[in-house]
Amino acid sequence: MAIQLNHTIVWAKDGRASANFLAGLFDLPSPKHWGHFYMVEVSNDITLDYSDYDGEVQSQHYAFLVSEDEFDQIFGRIQAQGVTHWADPGHHQPGRINTRDGGRGVYFEDPNGHNMEIITRPYGSGG
């Protein structure tokens, strides 16, 4: 059996709101509720399992590889919803996208401050 990542837990002040934010932005099915998790499934059968957390939520980074068409659609929703975005992970280039390795990428925060990213080519792939 090949080893595959199955899920990761994403701590949130409001797991339901954060899961709905991501699913809506990515045009994915509504999150599944199981126990105390709100699970967002991406196309390669991995779930981001949002869970409420009472303590301070530490920002994490999650990067999603998308097609050029998906990038256009998601970035269009980012702009339409007025979601602040940056070309870099340090958030020094607001309102821009990057074109590293011949692709496009953009960073934005979810409602808990997690640093989300969509890219059209994996970094280091050349281009």
For residue range 4-23, what is the model confidence (pLDDT) as tens digits?
Answer: 999 999 999 999 999 999 99
What pLDDT digit, counting tens, does each position of 19-66 carry? 999 999 999 999 999 999 999 999 889 999 999 999 999 999 999 999
**Three-state SS for 26?**
helix
DSSP tag of 102:
G
* 127 confidence band (pLDDT: 50, 70, 90): low
- What pLDDT does residue 37 have? 98
How many other C-beta atoms are found inside a 10 Å radius of the C-beta of residue 59? 10
Q: Are 18 and 110 in contact (CB under 8 A)?
A: yes
Task: Report the 10 Å Cβ neighbour count for 96.
Answer: 13
- Look over the chain and give the mean of its residue pLDDT values, rounded to a whole number: 95
State the pLDDT at residue 96: 98
